[in-house]
Amino acid sequence: MKETVEAEWEPLTAVRVHEPGFETLAGVVDPLPNLFRRGFSLEAARREHGRLVAALEDAGVTVRTLTDELAAAGQLSGLVAETVAVDTDGLRDDRRETVERQLHETLRGLSSRQQLQLIAAGARVTRLGAAPHDDETDSLAGDLDPGRLETSRLVFDEPASNLYFQRDQQITTPRGHVLCAAATDTRRREREIVARAVDPVHRVSTGPLEGGDYLPAGEFGLFGVSADRPDGDRVVRTSRAAARELLAADAVGHSEVGLVRAPLAADRRSRARHAGDDREAEMEIMHLDTWFNVAGHDLAVGREPLVEAATVEVFVRDGDGYHHDRDCSLADYLDHHGFDLVAVPHAERAVGTNFLTLSDRTVLPIYYPDEDGAFDPERNETIRRLRDAGVEIVPDGTGLPMEALRSGYGGVHCMTAPLARG
């Protein structure tokens, strides 16, 4: 059955996730080039991810892992052969063929999970020759396999450290899956891994487009796109050209599409009003879902100063495709479509909008914990406001704490790729 999504508030039936593996260690050790906020405990991140999966399953959602999807498609062995390098150049000539065969056999026999971690890590397995023989090593060798006196090396080359953020490599529209294109070199390898697990209706080719910038809303859809500046477009993560490509290819399906210009200037003004806030603007609002989301068919959630300032280019579908209809603020656009807004306080901007909508007015958010890890009402005003607006919060009326996982600069919305709703 073809997998599609009409609106973010339709009942979520199937979602894909990826538990962080040792490919994520690159970002833990070296956060900046890996686009992480800070280092964190990989073990804690895996525990948090397990609780996320359990909460989704308890809510009746079918959770599929990237590992299982690739294995079911018969793609892992090919990806291992293409991606995981085996190097025996440091061995004697009479050892190379034997060792290469042994290493490839070992790689083929690994579990699907281990194979994907090596693929994501861009692993290179190197066997190095033994030291020159002397009387002592000759005595030690005896009847041992020659490999016992050799050494090995495992190197990761540009690991796909962000792979656990499954939202960004694809979007699922009313037409089906669309393969995205990463804006940064750090994330470029993710697309070709995920591509083996989906049957896309379109592949983005004209510029970067990442899944966190797409929000389906029934009759209309929104794309976060380049900021409009006096010196020209400033691409944050999704270019205006890439979004227009999807409209031209009829790969979206909504009767109306709004291109939401990244409100960089408004974010800087907002941060200037809060002493001590010197975070990077283009990381704080890198995707639409980092400052805006929808919790139901008539309820939006966002940072109010940015919603009021952001410009939307509205394109309307007709017989010849989409044509530009008008420009307006995002606040006016939402009002036109009958949406109320739950405002996210500045102090909660890191997670306030990065929740997953499970159905109309039911969401799974991240909460800020107290020092014991428990829900802290004083630090979670957004969740209180959502409850007051009639939104059900799962699990347990609070959501989940994810202090390790969100240190990679993302939330629940970022970590989940909806495959089907309805």
User: 225: closest CA among 212, 336, 61?
Assistant: 212
Per DSSP bridges, beta strands 176-179 and 170-173 are: antiparallel
Q: Which residues contact 18 (CB under 8 A, 6 or more apart)?
A: 65, 66, 67, 163, 164, 166
Q: Any catalytic annotation for residue 328? A: no
Q: Which of 312, 350, 414, 420 is catalytic?
A: 414
User: 75: closest CA among 83, 63, 86, 64?
Assistant: 83
Q: How many CB atoms lie within 10 A of CB 387?
A: 13
DSSP reduced 3-state for 307: helix
Q: Which residues contact 322 (CB under 8 A, 6 or more apart)?
A: 247, 248, 257, 315, 316
Quote the strand ranges of 254-334, DSSP E.
256-261, 292-296, 299-302, 311-318, 321-329
How far is residue 422's CA from residue 187's CA, in Å, rounded to a whole number?
30
Hunting for tokens 């500046």 — which residue is that? 229
Contact 83, 119 (CB under 8 A): yes
Q: Tokens in use for 206?
A: 């004209």
Distances 239 to 181, 208, 228, 323 between C-alpha atoms, Å: 10, 6, 11, 18
Q: How many CB atoms lie within 10 A of CB 283?
A: 13
Residues labelled catalytic: 414
